[in-house]
Structure 1
Amino acid sequence: MKTTRFPSQKIGIYAILIVGVILSIGPFYWMVIGSTHKSGEIFSIPPKLLPGSTLGENFHTLNESLGMVKIMWNSLFIAVVYTVLSTLICSMAGYSFAKFRFKGKNFVFFIILCSLMIPYQVTLIPLFNMMVSLNWLNTYQAIIVPSLASPFAIYLMRQNMKAVPDSIIEASRVDGAGEIRIFFTVVLPVMRPALAAVAIFLFMSQWNSLIWPLITLNSKEIFTLPVALSSIIGLARIDYGQLMLGTTLSTIPIMIFFLLLQKHFISGILGGSVKE
């Protein structure tokens, strides 16, 4: 039996949706518009909701103070290299936990899950001491290497790998394919949605990382974007026009990366709900 909705109910639903859209998009719109105004104009009353004329001036000043081209390259290089390596490592780990039998497998996987409960701040001092002993301070590898094996990504890949039929893997082994070949030519191609979901998660976590790069990096030549933006927040004066522009530039790569992989993202996340 069909139920009819009264016009007032539809109006109420659309009103709630419109308010939700405004609350979601409003801050981003204000950030983009703020990047085109001078610092003193951003908080003016009434607020300026149309683009201004100081976008070029803000970028020139920001580039002079930070060197935005180099900063963007640092962040992009670190995030891309980290995402590729971490996705590969976590995929291999997830595959081994899902399809191989070895002594202590469940215990090791339990330890990995328990590591998710450890506050990140607790690991900073031991990691810093490790970087000092390796002479890795102020280097790219100090940012990339310590968090390559992401527990959450391993868990997500393991859950998705369990959905791969064992018969396909066994058939490949019968045909003479080695484990490495099976992993790269049989398993990974059907794991594209899960790989996309993991890649988005890892890219965003590295691109937005602030605390660890702030501790390990001390040269402007190797600063990442979050560290560089935090450095322009002075004690006496903050140029909000530059800050808004820098924040806008920092969101563009994430949006592009997500839009390129969005069709695989939802299916990859849902793939982690495989029942034991």
Structure 2
Amino acid sequence: MKAHPLRVFALNALLALLAALTLFPLAWMVSASLMAPGEASTFPPPLLPREASLGNYRALFAANGIGRQVLNSLGVSTGATLLSLAVNLSAGYAFAKLRFAGRDRLFRWLLGALVIPAQVTMMPLFLMLKEMGLVNTVAGVLVPWLASVFGIFLVRQYTLSIPDELIEAARMDGAGEGRIFVSIVLPLLKPVVVTLAVLSFLGAWNDFMWPLIVLTDREMQTLPVMLASLSREHVQDSELMMAGAVITVLPVLMLFLALQRYYLQGLTMGGVKQ
């Protein structure tokens, strides 16, 4: 049955309105970052700058040296993504296709850990890292990203969609488990690999609490921690803070837009098979 044209128009108009409401704060953030100091604080706030300028961005990089923190965040996010992929892909494959004692029971215990807030584990984890001498180190920041219950669950559920016959045929041909995983399983896991990589990179890039706890040296701080520190020093400089927010949001937004097709495919496929 063909939908009525008026109904289709009304639905599209509603969706366009919701999209505009969602994008408006981001658009104004970019606009405010190009305004002169104090311009965004006038009432009513202007939608567009009277004279667009990159002065706020120059102030962030030249006067406040934020370039170092951008590189720190990039390094931490890349390292966290690689570690997360290595551990979560291996563990998810093992829970889906390898048989060992207590596999299903252990997986149920892991799922139970999903209900535990991450903040609860920060104190014991910090004390463990302190005993190992990893406080104020990059390794200490990366430890929480080694594995995640959600990542293991996501990979396991997707791997269940791979036919067992394909893996058994490779074993009968003499391929080892490592060869099977690298040559057969990983190419089939491309959507979930991209999904997990995007989630890990976004999480590490935007993480504020854990780097704030572990890192004490200003030169090692990540971008969110540095911006929080600047906001206390420049509480009235809304335009400067908006420029910092743009620098924080833009890389991850571009990454998501570039990989959104694989990201959505990884979230929607293979997650219901048992």
Q: Same fold (TM over 0.5)?
A: yes
CA distance in 2 between partners of 1:10 and 1:259 (Å): 27
Match of 1:27 in 2: 25
Number of matched residues? 274
Q: Call closer, same or farther: CA 1:133–1:266 in 2, change over 3 Å.
A: same
- TM-score w.r.t. length of structure 2: 0.94
TM-aligned CA deviation for residue 14 of structure 1: 3.4
Deviates more, 1:45-54 or 1:147-156: 45-54
Whether the 8 Å CA contact 2:161–2:273 is kept in 1: the answer is no
Structure 1 164/3 Cα, relative in aligned 2: closer, same or farther at 3 Å?
closer
* In 2, Cα distance between equivalents of 1:141 and 1:270: 33
Give CA-to-partner distance per residue, 1:246-266, whole Å, 9 cap, x none.
110111211222123222111
* 1:55-103 Cα deviation digits (max 9, x unpaired): 4321222124532221111001110111011112100000000001111
Shift of 1:273: 2.1
**2: distance between equivalents of 1:4 and 1:57?**
52
Q: TM-score, normalised by structure 1?
A: 0.93
1:23–1:103 distance in 2 versus 1, CA, 3 Å: same
CA distance, structure 1, for counterparts of residue 9 and residue 265 of structure 2 = 32
Distance 2:188 2:11 in 1: 39
The answer to whether structure 1 residue 159 and structure 2 residue 157 are counterparts is: yes
Unaligned regions of 5+ residues in structure 1, if any? Answer: none
Query: In structure 2, which of residues 163, 166, 169 is the aligned counterpart of residue 168 of structure 1?
Result: 166
Structure 1 residue 156: deviation in Å?
0.2
Alignment of 1:72-87 (within 5 A): 72-87=70-85
Matches within 5 A, 1:191-230: 191-230=189-228
Query: Structure 2 vs 1, CA of residues 246 and 105 (structure 1 numbering), >3 Å: closer, same or farther?
Result: same
Q: Where does 1:59-74 land on structure 2 (aligned, <5 Å)?
A: 59-74=57-72
Query: Which residue does 2:251 correspond to in 1?
Result: 253
Taking the aligned partners of 1:139 and 1:223, their CA distance within structure 2 comes to 10
Runs of at least 5 residues in structure 2 that lack an aligned partner in the other structure? none
Alignment match, 2:139: 141
Cα distance in 2 for residues equivalent to 1:260 and 1:4: 33
Contact persistence 2:77–2:204 (CA under 8 A): yes
Equivalent in the alignment of 1:96: 94
Q: Distance in 2 between matches of 1:153 and 1:272?
A: 14
Residue identity over aligned pairs, in percent, reads 38
Separation (CA, whole Å) in 2 of partners of 1:42 and 1:57: 14
Aligned CA RMSD, in angstroms, stands at: 1.8
